[in-house]
Amino acid sequence: EAGVVQSPRYKIIEKKQPVAFWCNPISGHNTLYWYRQNLGQGPELLIRYENEEAVDDSQLPKDRFSAERLKGVDSTLKIQPAELGDSAVYLCASSALGTAYGYTFGSGTRLTVV
Partner 1 sequence: DAKTTQPTSMDCAEGRAANLPCNHSTISGNEYVYWYRQIHSQGPQYIIHGLKNNETNEMASLIITEDRKSSTLILPHATLRDTAVYYCIVPRSNDYKLSFGAGTTVTVRA
Told to check if 25 binds partner 1 by CB under 8 A, we report no
3-class DSSP assignment, residue 37: strand
Binding residue for partner 1, selected from 46, 95, 111, 113, defined by CB under 8 A:
95
- Of these, 5, 13, 20, 45, which contacts partner 1 (CB under 8 A)? 45
The reply to whether 109 sits near partner 1 by the rule CB under 8 A is: no
Using the rule CB under 8 A, is 54 a contact of partner 1? no
**End-to-end distance of the chain based on CA atoms, in angstroms?**
37
Could you say whether residue 44 binds partner 1 (CB under 8 A)?
Answer: yes
Report the residue number, 10 or 80, with the smaller CB distance to partner 1: 10
107 binds partner 1 (CB under 8 A): yes
Rounded to the nearest whole angstrom, what is the least distance from the CB of residue 24 to partner 1 in the complex? 14
Phi (first) and psi of residue 84, to 5 degrees: -55, -40
Rg, C-alpha atoms of the chain = 13
Distance of CA 98 to the CA centre of its chain: 19
- Amino acid at site 94: S
Q: How far apart are CA 54 and CA 68, in angstroms?
A: 8
Nearer to partner 1, 81 or 96 (CB): 96
